[in-house]
């Protein structure tokens, strides 16, 4: 039997700003908002595009993995009720 395991974990915090164009926001201004072909702003734009691609890949991963996903039981968190997941058999069929 062939079996593989994937554990996906992404946690990066980035705070980037162009020194010359501190008001440039790649999410709001897009590629067209880059002034004078500024390489730093282009880098910010590319970073934003990479972020969007990563989000899309993450969503695709979750969607494809969902049928095989096993929910891990939280350890030492009995005081955090799981509202979206009632105990098995607690609801009438
Ligand atoms: Zn710039």
Label residue 80 exposed, middle or buried (CB < 10 Å: 0-12, 13-18, 19+).
Answer: exposed
At 13-23, the pLDDT tens digits run 989 999 999 99
Distance from residue 60's CA to the centre of ligand 1 (Å)? 32
The pLDDT of residue 56: 96
In 11-90, which ranges are E strands? none
Token pair belonging to 82: 């799981």
Q: Contact, 40 vs 20, CB < 8 A?
A: yes
At 12-49, the pLDDT tens digits run 898 999 999 999 999 999 999 999 999 999 999 999 99
Distance from residue 43's CA to the centre of ligand 1 (Å)? 9
Distance from residue 90's CA to the centre of ligand 1 (Å)? 57
Give the environment of ion ligand 1: residues with CB less than 5 A: 18, 20-21, 38, 40-41
What distance in Å separates the CA atoms of residue 28 and residue 63, rounded to the nearest whole number? 28
The yes-or-no verdict on residue 9 having pLDDT over 60 is yes
What distance in Å separates the CA atoms of residue 8 and residue 68, rounded to the nearest whole number? 14
């Amino acid at each position: 039997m062939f079996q593989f395991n994937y554990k996906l974990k992404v946690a990066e915090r980035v705070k980037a700003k162009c020194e010359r164009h501190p008001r440039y926001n790649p999410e709001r201004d897009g590629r067209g908002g880059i002034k004078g072909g500024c390489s730093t702003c282009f880098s910010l734009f590319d970073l934003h595009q990479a972020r969007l691609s990563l989000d899309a890949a993450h969503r695709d991963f979750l969607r494809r993995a969902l049928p095989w996903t096993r929910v891990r039981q939280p350890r030492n968190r009995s005081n955090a009720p799981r509202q979206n997941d009632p105990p098995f058999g607690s609801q009438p069929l």
